[in-house]
Structure 1
Amino acid sequence: MTNEQKELVRGTVPILREHGVALTTYFYNRMLTHNPELRNVFNSANQHTGAQPTALAMSVLAYAENIDNPTVLAHAVNRIANKHVSLDIRPEQYAIVGKHLLASISEVLGEAASAELIEAWGLAYNQLAGIMIGVEADLYSSAAQKEGGWSGWRPFVVKHKVKESEEITSFYLYPSDGGKVADFLPGQYITVRLYVPELKVFQPRQYSLSAAPNGDFYRISIKKEHGNSTRPEGYVSNLMHNKVQQGGVIEVAPPSGDFTFDPTKTNPVVFVSGGVGLTPFICMLESTIASGKNRHITWIHGSRSYAVHAFKNVVRELGARHGKMKIHTFYDTIENDLEDDFYEGYVDLEKIQDAINPDTDYYICGPGEFIKKHYHYLLDQNVDKDRIHFEEFGPAVLVV
């Protein structure tokens, strides 16, 4: 790209800041109207709530702001590439996206979208697509070359369903071909894909792996999403709970994700979770104990109540086995007499001051506002941001 073309792209930054979501919403509607087969790729709930258009708008904005040096977005690119691989996004689909993105820019901006601007954005998009395709090719190759690895979708049998709470059930998945499953890093997820009759399309969903690598099976623990006034009932979670029975077969993509954990480290670690956000931490905890490292662990979890609190006994058993683990539990309302280290109300790190230490690594998982609250609290306590790791369940967002 020439300097003049980069300047044209940068010139759209104010428009993207103010109208980016409107543009990306128009883009998705246009693309899915002309290419309805892509409805099998995108999460319909995230389209309904606007989470997916918002994520794309932030991505496009960040790319335009950093058009001179897109390498500063390497971490975010890697996170999005992992999500794309988990959805089996392939290079040829980038051409479809590019076509509709440029058309949307032209149609939404109208006379402001000069031929020179569209050409500049076309070059910018192709540059970004080339970066993404290269990163994703490496991820696909790595996943396929592992022992027990594969690329794309593979059928798995649900051998066991175990109820963990009133809302969360664990599914034990074994390859239908009888082969091994690839190892993964604690904190990663797999994607399952089910046909949703109401939508007449397949729907993919990512679920954190909730058991340590073992070579034989994967475990995922899924919350049944009932929906509310702002978000529809979870199509896939309800199918998994209500329709998929023991012995049923589902399609699964290989482990993916960059929210990962090194169980061989020895410095203190703090896990902070809300609701079903504890699932990747169960895997991390099991992996730490299996490593034999004498690492001090602080487990902080928030749940609405005792009844919906999953893995409560498992965590206490693992903590007792480890011997250097403190457990702090927050319930919105405490209805019964409970043991020490239970608090009424939302998770509040101010009540656990001994968890704030300069050498500690922090892992946060839960809803977006939950993560934001605790991330900024830790920064205010002078915790180095490189020691704070987080995962929000939802679309990947490209940020600096």
Structure 2
Amino acid sequence: MLSEQSAPVVRATLPAVGAAIGNITELFYRKLFDAHPELLRDVFNRGNQANGEQQKALAGSIAAFAGLPLEKPDARPDALLARIAHKHASLGITSDQYKTVHRHLFAAIAEVLGDAVTDEVASAWDEVYWLMANALIAIEARLYQEAGAAEGEVWQRMEITERRQETPDVVSFLLRPCDGRPAASFRPGQYVSVQVELPDGARQIRQYSLSSAPGRPNWRISVKRVRDMARPDGEVSSWLHEHAQPGDTLTVSAPFGDLVLPERDGPLLLASAGIGNTPILAMLGQLASTGSARRVIAVHADRSPADHAHREEQLGLVRTLPNARLHLWYEVPGDQAPEAAAGQADVGSLALPGDLTAYLCGPLPFMRAVRGDLLRLGVPAERIHYEVFGPDLWLGQ
């Protein structure tokens, strides 16, 4: 909660900060990477920096967090904070790094807003920053403790035991710890970070969902290749597709992520598109391995059956569940999928129970459309959960 002296200052200056937040975040990252080039090389996603998505996500999260204490003084955006904290933990972010961010962020604010940043304004926004930072630090400390790791020490070496070409653009890897122990348990829906050393010496990190159920000696990740090589968006996925082979080792984080299968008995909607079915596969696998009788409505959309990664596995898992059904939409169904509908997924056409909990994963347009259908059908917003691959440009809207 903001203090009585800071709240009116933040309220008065929020429009000006909001109007300039794009310029502020762009300048902030420039200052940060000029002072600490190793962060861009080895921590931050160079692709998201190049396409501007990271700047947009930071701007949105600051605006969302600053506005909430004014509207709801006793509330916190817990979903937003949890999503950011899990991502930070998967990167090994430490509490000291928040001081570095603070220094360069406030230098950028002062430079962009100039004389408008009085001592009173600086103090009020300093309070906003540390409210958010301390909340994240506390959540991340708990996540490290749950992972059995010291702060930031989340990495392990894992050997690739098997490589499978799932579709022309998706390859899966089975991973086991190099120390001979079984892979650690995780919650269905979680992801791991994978760090690879690229030809220029950078150690870039990307997140990949664990795409099979927990309880096995190996983990599985499924990597879709990003083919736009004019930018660095696809440099890690391309490296893995071109170079990673059985017997090679990778640097992999502990599992993190807050989109996880709930331990309840109510009906589920598991909706995915494209490579977004990877966390859904882990959820379906867990339900199947435990003999769950829950009602499950699975939805998947893709370009074609040939582009649907783990298609036969997903079909088989749904068949093993006594109260589950899979609804498929393909842009080009072809003769391979007579059971699928053509075109975009239409969740609004399904008969859905009123007490379901929904989990969505896929491109933002897909998730926005499904969420809109669910809200129109009366599903409460708090029962609709989602996972974003990359910076969260949606912010739970």
Pairwise same-fold verdict (TM > 0.5): yes
Asked if the contact 2:305–2:336 (Cα under 8 Å) also holds between the matched residues in 1, the reply is: no
Residue 226 of structure 1 is matched in structure 2 by: 227
Instruction: Work out whether 1:98 is the aligned partner of 2:102.
Output: yes
In the aligned structure 2, how far is the partner of 1:323 from the partner of 1:158?
Answer: 34
Residue 24 of structure 1 is matched in structure 2 by: 25
Residue 83 of structure 2 is matched in structure 1 by: 79
Cα distance change of structure 1 residues 337 and 216 upon mapping to structure 2, 3 Å threshold: closer
Asked if the contact 1:83–1:396 (Cα under 8 Å) also holds between the matched residues in 2, the reply is: no
Q: Secondary structure at the match of 1:63?
A: helix
Letter in 1 for 2:265: T
Residue 250 of structure 1 is matched in structure 2 by: 250
Letter in 1 for 2:214: P
Q: Output the TM-score relative to the length of structure 1.
A: 0.92
Select between 303-312 and 249-258 the one with higher mean Cα deviation. Answer: 303-312
Aligned pair count reads 391
In the aligned structure 2, how far is the partner of 1:160 from the partner of 1:234?
Answer: 22
Asked if the contact 2:195–2:206 (Cα under 8 Å) also holds between the matched residues in 1, the reply is: yes
Q: Shift of the alpha carbon at 1:395?
A: 1.7
Residue 164 of structure 1 is matched in structure 2 by: 166
Instruction: Work out whether 1:201 is the aligned partner of 2:205.
Output: no
Q: Secondary structure at the match of 1:46?
A: helix
Q: Output the TM-score relative to the length of structure 2.
A: 0.93
Cα distance change of structure 1 residues 121 and 338 upon mapping to structure 2, 3 Å threshold: closer
Select between 12-21 and 129-138 the one with higher mean Cα deviation. Answer: 12-21
Residue 379 of structure 1 is matched in structure 2 by: 375
Asked if the contact 2:190–2:279 (Cα under 8 Å) also holds between the matched residues in 1, the reply is: yes
Q: Secondary structure at the match of 2:244?
A: coil
Residue 58 of structure 1 is matched in structure 2 by: 60
Deviation digits for residues 59-78 of structure 1, max 9, x if unmatched? 11122213453742223212
List alignment gaps of at least 5 residues for structure 1.
Answer: none
In the aligned structure 2, how far is the partner of 1:268 from the partner of 1:326?
Answer: 12
Residue 321 of structure 2 is matched in structure 1 by: 322
Letter in 2 for 1:346: Q
Identity over aligned residues, as a percent?
34
Q: Secondary structure at the match of 1:161?
A: strand
In the aligned structure 2, how far is the partner of 1:270 from the partner of 1:32?
Answer: 42
Residue 122 of structure 1 is matched in structure 2 by: 126
Q: Secondary structure at the match of 1:56?
A: helix
Asked if the contact 2:333–2:342 (Cα under 8 Å) also holds between the matched residues in 1, the reply is: yes
Q: Shift of the alpha carbon at 1:132?
A: 1.6
Question: Of 364, 371, 379, which aligns to 1:368?
Answer: 364
In the aligned structure 2, how far is the partner of 1:337 from the partner of 1:177?
Answer: 43
Q: Shift of the alpha carbon at 1:177?
A: 1.0
Q: Shift of the alpha carbon at 1:108?
A: 0.7
Residue 387 of structure 2 is matched in structure 1 by: 391
Deviation digits for residues 42-90 of structure 1, max 9, x if unmatched? 1111111211111111111122213453742223212211111001000
Deviation digits for residues 339-364 of structure 1, max 9, x if unmatched? 32x1111111233x22x220222211
The within-5 A match list for 1:277-356 is 277-336=276-335, 338-340=337-339, 342-351=340-349, 353-354=350-351, 356=352
Residue 239 of structure 2 is matched in structure 1 by: 239
List alignment gaps of at least 5 residues for structure 2.
Answer: none
Q: Shift of the alpha carbon at 1:139?
A: 0.8
In the aligned structure 2, how far is the partner of 1:349 from the partner of 1:310?
Answer: 21
Residue 47 of structure 2 is matched in structure 1 by: 45
Letter in 1 for 2:298: W
| RMSD, matched Cα | 2.1
Q: Shift of the alpha carbon at 1:124?
A: 2.8
Residue 115 of structure 2 is matched in structure 1 by: 111
Question: Of 124, 142, 149, which aligns to 2:146?
Answer: 142
Deviation digits for residues 143-200 of structure 1, max 9, x if unmatched? 0179xxx9421111111111111111111110011123321111111111112224x4
Asked if the contact 1:62–1:399 (Cα under 8 Å) also holds between the matched residues in 2, the reply is: no
Q: Shift of the alpha carbon at 1:17?
A: 3.0
In the aligned structure 2, how far is the partner of 1:348 from the partner of 1:153?
Answer: 41
Asked if the contact 2:192–2:252 (Cα under 8 Å) also holds between the matched residues in 1, the reply is: yes
Letter in 1 for 2:391: P
Select between 266-275 and 243-252 the one with higher mean Cα deviation. Answer: 266-275
Letter in 2 for 1:295: R
Letter in 2 for 1:143: A
Q: Shift of the alpha carbon at 1:337?
A: 5.3
Q: Secondary structure at the match of 1:307?
A: helix
Q: Secondary structure at the match of 1:80?
A: helix
Asked if the contact 2:292–2:321 (Cα under 8 Å) also holds between the matched residues in 1, the reply is: no
In the aligned structure 2, how far is the partner of 1:24 from the partner of 1:372?
Answer: 26
In the aligned structure 1, how far is the partner of 2:241 from the partner of 2:378?
Answer: 43
In the aligned structure 2, how far is the partner of 1:227 from the partner of 1:314?
Answer: 29
In the aligned structure 2, how far is the partner of 1:294 from the partner of 1:274?
Answer: 25
Deviation digits for residues 321-379 of structure 1, max 9, x if unmatched? 22332222111123335332x1111111233x22x220222211101111111101110
Letter in 2 for 1:23: I
Q: Shift of the alpha carbon at 1:206?
A: 0.8
Cα distance change of structure 1 residues 332 and 268 upon mapping to structure 2, 3 Å threshold: same
Deviation digits for residues 109-136 of structure 1, max 9, x if unmatched? 1121223222332233233222221211
Cα distance change of structure 1 residues 64 and 368 upon mapping to structure 2, 3 Å threshold: same
